[in-house]
Amino acid sequence: MERKILSVPTITCGHCVMTIKRELGEVRGVSRVEGDPATKKITVEWEAPATLDAIKSTLREINYPAAE
């Protein structure tokens, strides 16, 4: 299992976090998503077939791109 903390500057509230959790939860292999609007960070845990690239791509698609 892999785990990564991503900075997502466009998070402004709890609804943003809920949207991210819902959308990333649909990516096969993602097992956990937590977020904090105060720090604008999300924590994602996953295993194959999910990849970090797939997670970042999904975030871009829903207009919450991860900062590099």
pLDDT for the residue numbered 30: 98
User: What is 2-61's CATH topology?
Assistant: Alpha-Beta Plaits (3.30.70)
Q: Can you list the alpha helix ranges (DSSP code H) found in the chain? A: 14-25, 52-61
Task: List, for residues 9-61, the tens digit of each pLDDT value.
Answer: 999 999 999 999 999 999 999 999 999 999 999 999 999 999 999 999 999 99
Which sign does the torsion angle of CA 46, 44, 59, 53 carry? negative
pTM, entire model = 0.94
Is a pLDDT exceeding 90 seen at residue 68? Answer: no
Sorted by where each begins, the domain ranges of the chain are 2-61
